[in-house]
C-alpha cells in the first residue's frame, strides 16, 4: 500500500513535470520566428472592352471572383488598350506581360487557324444560345482545346456569347446598295466578308471610334448590337441601326498564361472557371434584355434591308465559309459543324429558326 508521503511526492513530481513541459513549449513558441500572412496571388487581366462596357461583360464577374477568393487571389482588371494595344493582346498573355485576357480570337490576333471563327463569323449563328450549344454540344470546345494545345504558353479556357452584330451608322441602310463605300469600324474577318458588298473596313484603337464618327472619318460601326451602342455612348454620334445582323452573337474567349494557370491550386482554378461561367450567364440575359429594350426605347432610328435582298448576303456567307474551310483541315471541320448545326436548326423549326 502506497504511503501518503509517497503519494504527495508523486503528485509534486507530476506537477513539476507538467510545469516544465509547459515552460518548454512556451519557450519553443517564443523562440519561433514570426510568420507573416501569405500574400495573395495577383493577376493582371486585360479585356477587349472599354470602361463602360467592361462593367457588364467582365468587371462584375471579376469582383465576384475577388470576393469569393477570400484574400487568396486578386485579379486586377484593365480595359481595352490600357496595358497593351488590343492587336497585341494574345502575345502579351504569351509572354507573361499580362496574366489573362478576355477577347475574341480574331481581333486579339491569336496565332491559330480557327481564329476566324472568333468574334463574328458571318451569319454562323442566329441567337446567343447558338454559341454555347456549338461549343459544348457540337464539338467546338474540343477543337479549340486541340488548336490551342499547339500554341506555347497560352491556355484557352472558354468561349461564350455576347451580343449580335449590326450596323450602326450616320447614314440610313435600306438596301445593299447603301453599303457601298461605307467606312465602318469592324472585326478582321467580318470586314473581309463585308468588303464584298463595298464596305470599307477601318481599324482603329477602341477609344478613337467615337471621335472618328464625329469628324466623319467613319460612317459607323459593324461591331456590336444596339445595347453596346447605347452603353458605350456611340448612339450619341450615330443616327441609324440596321436590324439585319451580320451574326447573331459574338463568340468571345478567356485566355490565361499557361505557367500562371498551372501555378494556381485546383480550388482557385475551379473558382476561376466558375467566374467565367457566371460571366457568360450574366451576358446572356443582359444583352437579350438590352437588344429589345433599345430597339423600343433607344435613340437610333431602325432601318432594314428587305429579306429577299438580304438572302444575297446569306448565300454569299456560305461561299465565304467554304473559302475559310479550305485554309486548313481543322477549319474545314469547324465549317462542317456550323453547316450541320444550322441545317438542323432549320429542320427543328420555331423557336430555333423561323
Domain spans in the chain, listed from the N-terminal domain onward: 41-161+250-294
Mean pLDDT score, 4-33: 42
pTM for the predicted model, two decimal places: 0.87
Asked whether the predicted pLDDT for residue 9 surpasses 90, the reply is no
Asked whether the predicted pLDDT for residue 251 surpasses 70, the reply is yes
Alpha-carbon span 134 to 125, nearest angstrom:
9
Residue 173, Ramachandran bin (φ over 0: left; ψ between -120 and 50: alpha; else beta):
beta
Q: Which residue from 132, 128, 47, 53 is spatially nearest to 86, judged by alpha carbons? A: 47
Distance set, CA 176 to CA 72, 222, 246 (Å): 55, 15, 13
Mean pLDDT score, 206-212: 95
- Edge-to-edge strands, sheet with 100-103: 73-78, 41-47, 100-103, 251-257, 154-161
Asked whether the predicted pLDDT for residue 229 surpasses 80, the reply is yes
Query: For domain 41-161+250-294, which architecture applies?
Result: 3-Layer(aba) Sandwich (3.40)
Asked whether the predicted pLDDT for residue 11 surpasses 50, the reply is no
In the numeric block, the cell 448565300 is attached to: 315
Q: Which residues are CB-contacts of 119 (< 8 A; sequence separation ≥ 6)?
A: 104, 105, 106, 107, 187, 188, 189, 190, 250, 251, 252
- How far does Cα 149 stand from its chain's mean position? 19
The C-alpha cell at 195 is 468588303
Mean pLDDT score, 192-196: 97
- DSSP calls for 319-344: HHHHHHHTT-HHHHHHHHHHHHHHHH
Distance from first CA to last CA of the chain, Å, rounded? 101
Q: What is the mean pLDDT of the chain?
A: 91
Amino acid at each position: 500500500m502506497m504511503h501518503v508521503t509517497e503519494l504527495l511526492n508523486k503528485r509534486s513530481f507530476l506537477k513539476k513535470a507538467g510545469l516544465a513541459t509547459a515552460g518548454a513549449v512556451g519557450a519553443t513558441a517564443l523562440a519561433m520566428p514570426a510568420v507573416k500572412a501569405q500574400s495573395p496571388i495577383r493577376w493582371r487581366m486585360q479585356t477587349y472592352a472599354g470602361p463602360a462596357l467592361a462593367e457588364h461583360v467582365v468587371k462584375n464577374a471579376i469582383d465576384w471572383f475577388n470576393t469569393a477568393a477570400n484574400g487568396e487571389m486578386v485579379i486586377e482588371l484593365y480595359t481595352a488598350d490600357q496595358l497593351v494595344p488590343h492587336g497585341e493582346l494574345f502575345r502579351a498573355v504569351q509572354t507573361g506581360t499580362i496574366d489573362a485576357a478576355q477577347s475574341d480570337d480574331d481581333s486579339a490576333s491569336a496565332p491559330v487557324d480557327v481564329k476566324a471563327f472568333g468574334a463574328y463569323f458571318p451569319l454562323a449563328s442566329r441567337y446567343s444560345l447558338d454559341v454555347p450549344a456549338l461549343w459544348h454540344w457540337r464539338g467546338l470546345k474540343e477543337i479549340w482545346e486541340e488548336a490551342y494545345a499547339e500554341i506555347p504558353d497560352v491556355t484557352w479556357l472558354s468561349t461564350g456569347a455576347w451580343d449580335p452584330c449590326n450596323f450602326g451608322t450616320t447614314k440610313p441602310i435600306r438596301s445593299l446598295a447603301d453599303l457601298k463605300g461605307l467606312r465602318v469600324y469592324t472585326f478582321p474577318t467580318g470586314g473581309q466578308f463585308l468588303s464584298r458588298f463595298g464596305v470599307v473596313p477601318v481599324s482603329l484603337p477602341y477609344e478613337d471610334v467615337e471621335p472618328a464618327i464625329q469628324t466623319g472619318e467613319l460612317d459607323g460601326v459593324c461591331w456590336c448590337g444596339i445595347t453596346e451602342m447605347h452603353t458605350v455612348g456611340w448612339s450619341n454620334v450615330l443616327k441609324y441601326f440596321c436590324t439585319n445582323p451580320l451574326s447573331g452573337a459574338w463568340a468571345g474567349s478567356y485566355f490565361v498564361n499557361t505557367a500562371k494557370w498551372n501555378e494556381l491550386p485546383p480550388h482557385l482554378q475551379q473558382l476561376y472557371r466558375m467566374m467565367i461561367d457566371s460571366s457568360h450567364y450574366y451576358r446572356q440575359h443582359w444583352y437579350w434584355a438590352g437588344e429589345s429594350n433599345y430597339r423600343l426605347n433607344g435613340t437610333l432610328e431602325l432601318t432594314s434591308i428587305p429579306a429577299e435582298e438580304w438572302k444575297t448576303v446569306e448565300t454569299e456567307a456560305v461561299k465565304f465559309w467554304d473559302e475559310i474551310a479550305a485554309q486548313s483541315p481543322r477549319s474545314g471541320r469547324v465549317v462542317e459543324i456550323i453547316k450541320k448545326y444550322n441545317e438542323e436548326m432549320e429542320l427543328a423549326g420555331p423557336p430555333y429558326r423561323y
